[in-house]
Amino acid sequence: MLNKEFKKKFDAENNTFKKQAIKGDFLFFMKKMDSIENTALIGALLKVRNIEDLQILKTPGALSQHLTDKPTAIEKVADYPGGINSLRQEVANLLYVDGVNSDSKTVKTDVVFIVEKDGSVSNVHAEGDNFTFNRQAEIALYSISEKFSPAVVKGDPARFRFRIPLTLTMTD
């Protein structure tokens, strides 16, 4: 709707300088909307993390419950539709790059999460040197559109610890 209204105003204007000003206003407005959405997503991330932490407190050993470190016990590892490259692409598309503050041109993080028996993602934790990139990576992982196909152990769906390294190269 906003896009349509700005376009209508842009198309109605004949002065080139005023058209550029309208375009600039639109881009500024959209960046502010992204920032507001990012603030909301960070709030949602905190809520999800708090709920997960409370679940762990209610169920001692819940985080490690049914997770195996023995690769031989796993018949099938958890898999994202389209594979790891599809997951990486979706995460890259979901990253709010303007929310990452860094003096370094390249930032890295390792995101570790649990793929639950139903294929959903939980307990997402990013560990890297850049706090803001870590938070944006966590938000992106929680925001993926598809569910994983769960891991299989002894013929049954199982929880699976998944790790994905991410690198962001900042452009000028």
Per-residue pLDDT for 6 more than 90? no
The boundaries of the domain holding residue 88 are: 64-169
Total structural domains in the chain?
Answer: 2
Q: Calculate what percentage of the chain has a pLDDT beyond 90.
A: 34
For residue 67, give every residue at least 6 positions away whose Cβ sits within 8 Å of its Cβ, in sequence order, or none: 114, 159, 160, 161
Per-residue pLDDT for 69 more than 50? no
> Which residue, 13, 29, 62, sits at the end of a domain?
62
Least confident of 29-43, 91-105, 106-120: 29-43
> Which residue, 62, 87, 111, sits at the end of a domain?
62
One domain, residues 7 and 69: no
What pTM, to 2 d.p., does this model score? 0.64
63 near 157, Cβ under 8 Å? no
CA pseudo-torsion sign 109, 166, 172, 22? negative
Outline where the chain has alpha helix (H): 2-12, 16-58, 84-94, 131-142
What was the pLDDT predicted at 112? 94
One domain, residues 81 and 144: yes
One domain, residues 56 and 105: no
Token pair belonging to 95: 């990253």
One domain, residues 27 and 87: no
